Structure 1
Amino acid sequence: MRDILKTLKDEHDELRSLFDALNATTDRAEKKRTELLQKIEAALIPHAKWEELVFYPAFAERASHDQLLQHAEAIQEHRAVELTVLPDLHASPKTSRQFAGSAKVLSEFITHHADEEEQDMFSAARTLFSAEERADLDEQYETWKASPAAAALTVHAKVKTALKSVIRNPKAPG
């Protein structure tokens, strides 16, 4: 049976693997770093946006007082990545130590977030949502990811990141 929690965890694992590859690159690997960053964003942005729009609100509706803290932390971690960490990464030349350092911070931040989500939120979600509800959420997610709405939100997030990176470093290539 389908399960949104398994799908989201599988995507976390995919991101961990992409971050391992990115963190293993050298400063001379501009093309590889660019390709890996594109793959990371292609996996990360729709995942995060759907969590923010669907999963987190559904979780919050059923969450206990303590679980609402987990919810609030998850939202703030998403905001930090979107508003600070990704723009800083894009503001750095791909061949620089600054890029490598920013990539490492993004990797550690996302890995920490995914670990907490899996241990705390997903564990709680197994009791908050029935297997049928989790399967339905998984189907909704698959449909949403292929939708124009998902594509539009992804483009919007990338444009915001690009604009923030230009503000941070007007001389940096996009």
Structure 2
Amino acid sequence: MPDIFERIRQDHDAARQLVDEIESTTERAGKKRDELFETFKIELWAHNRVEEATFYARLESKGEDEESLEAKNEHHMLNSLIEELDTMPKDNVEWSQKFHAFAELLSHHMEEEEEEFFDLGRQVFSSSETEILGKEFDSRKDAVKSAIAPVE
């Protein structure tokens, strides 16, 4: 079973792949772009919420409030941009440019987590805590995704 660091990195890698797929679409592929973005949006919202409830909440419990608050603020900014992108028509250059700017912010955030926050987590969590957090992350993410997925 992957620990919390592996689970977060797996989600980051999946997000990077979806970003690449979305950015490779053209304005003429509005329907395909919309489908990819819908999947991406749900995955990212679920990831952010569960990461805050598991990884960042545990960092806070260990006295690492400053780092946790920084990451939560970045999540808030990313989620705001996702909501804005979600309301825009996806078959135009404006959407493409805004998504690209969003993707750059997301990439910076993920790199910072993987390079700085993971190191901090490894300093303050025991190996058994990281395994428990990984399991908790998985179970909560499945529940959140089910709760926020559109009803068909």
TM over 0.5: yes
Aligned twin of 2:112:
116
* Greater relative contact order (CA < 8 Å, ≥ 6 in sequence): 2
Residues 1:79 and 2:76 are matched in the alignment: yes
1:1-174 pair list within 5 angstroms? 2-64=2-64, 68-83=65-80, 85-147=81-143, 151-152=146-147, 154=148
Structure 2: which 5+ residue stretches go unaligned? none
Number of residue-to-residue matches in the alignment: 150
Q: Which has the larger radius of gyration?
A: 1
Length-normalised TM-score, structure 1: 0.79
User: What percent identity do the matched residue pairs reach?
Assistant: 29
Whole-angstrom distance in 2 between the partners of 1:70 and 1:120 = 9
1:26, distance to aligned residue in structure 2 (A): 0.8
Deviations 1:29-58 (CA, angstroms, capped at 9, x unpaired): 112101210121232111101112222111
Verify the 8 A CA contact 2:41 2:82 in the aligned structure 1. Answer: no
Structure 1: which 5+ residue stretches go unaligned? 159-174
Q: Deviation above 2 Å: which 4+ runs of structure 1?
A: 149-152
Whole-angstrom distance in 2 between the partners of 1:30 and 1:51 = 30
Give 1:77's aligned amino acid.
E
